[in-house]
């Protein structure tokens, strides 16, 4: 596929670096960068929410009840 792509200066610099260091053509360098970006997503870690005891003295499992309680005080 042939298309026109506008590169930001930082991406253009990285393409130039790849071309220089690895002897790639422009298209090959852009494809290498795109593949590098796609590979990053597959190695991401699963998100885990950190929690900590806050010493709450009321049951906060029902957020609606908590908001009602706070509105009345």
Centroid of chain to Cα 6: 22
Map out the domains of the chain as residue ranges: 1-43
pTM of the model: 0.53
Q: What digits encode the pLDDT tens for the residues 42-52?
A: 556 788 999 88
Contact residues for 58 (Cβ-Cβ < 8 A; gap 6+)? 66, 69
Question: Looking at per-residue confidence, does 53 or 16 come out higher?
Answer: 16
The Cα angle at residue 35 between residues 30 and 38, in degrees rounded to 5: 130
């Amino acid at each position: 596929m042939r298309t026109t792509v506008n590169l930001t200066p930082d991406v253009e610099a990285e393409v130039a670096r790849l071309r220089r260091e690895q002897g790639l053509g422009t298209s090959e360098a852009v494809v290498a960068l795109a593949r590098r970006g796609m590979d990053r997503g597959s190695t991401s870690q699963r998100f885990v929410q950190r929690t900590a005891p806050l010493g709450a003295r009321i049951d906060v499992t029902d957020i609606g009840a908590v908001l009602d309680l706070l509105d009345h005080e």
